Amino acid sequence: MKTAIPSLEGIERQWHLIDAEDAVLGRIASKAARILMGKHKPTYTPFLDTGDHVIVVNAAKVRLTGNKEEQKLYRRHSGYPGGLTETQARTVRQTRPARMVEEAVQGMLPKSKLGKQMYRKLQVYAGPKHPHQAQKPVQLAS
């Protein structure tokens, strides 16, 4: 018996909507990463991007457990010597709340060209509105 490998033309992509209001950041991120990779489909293939699109709304209202609001640090580097910038989660929530969800999901995807391709199918919005009504996203239970 031969193993069936899905062709890129035969992959059907759906749109999923996740409401992050009062949901734990890590649980939302793992759910989104699973859908982006396509692990929820029977046609999942590790070396192909068989995943769906994910829209995350209300990213500003995502919940952090424990003392992460004060203790968690988001780091970025400019590329220059001494160019490391550290920002607390509380500050990131006030300035760019979508970044919290984006970085959490990106950390759960493969670190390769394929992972970058999967990450491009993620849309995160701080508020409850999104411009993807025409794609008819399916609401996921959180």
- Any domain includes 98: yes
What is the predicted pLDDT for the residue at 4?
82
User: How would residue 80 be classed by pLDDT, with cut points 50, 70 and 90?
Assistant: very high
- Any domain includes 74: no
Q: Which residue has the tokens 């220059």?
A: 80
Q: In sequence order, what are the residues at sequence separation of 6 or more whose Cβ sits closer than 8 angstroms to the Cβ of residue 124?
A: 55, 56, 59, 98, 101, 102
Sign of the C-alpha dihedral computed for residues 92, 133, 29 and 83 taken in this order: negative
Write the single-letter amino acid at 140.
L
State phi, psi for 42 to the nearest 5 degrees.
-70, -15
User: How would residue 127 be classed by pLDDT, with cut points 50, 70 and 90?
Assistant: very high
- Any domain includes 108: yes
Average pLDDT over the chain, rounded to an integer = 95
- Any domain includes 2: no
Chain segment 3-36, per-residue pLDDT in tens: 888 888 889 999 999 999 999 999 999 999 999 9
Sign of the C-alpha dihedral computed for residues 62, 136, 33 and 101 taken in this order: negative
Model pTM score: 0.92
How many domains does the structure of the chain reveal?
1
- Any domain includes 75: no
Q: What percent of the chain clears pLDDT 70, i.e. is strictly above it?
A: 99
Q: What range defines the domain where residue 33 resides?
A: 15-64+93-139
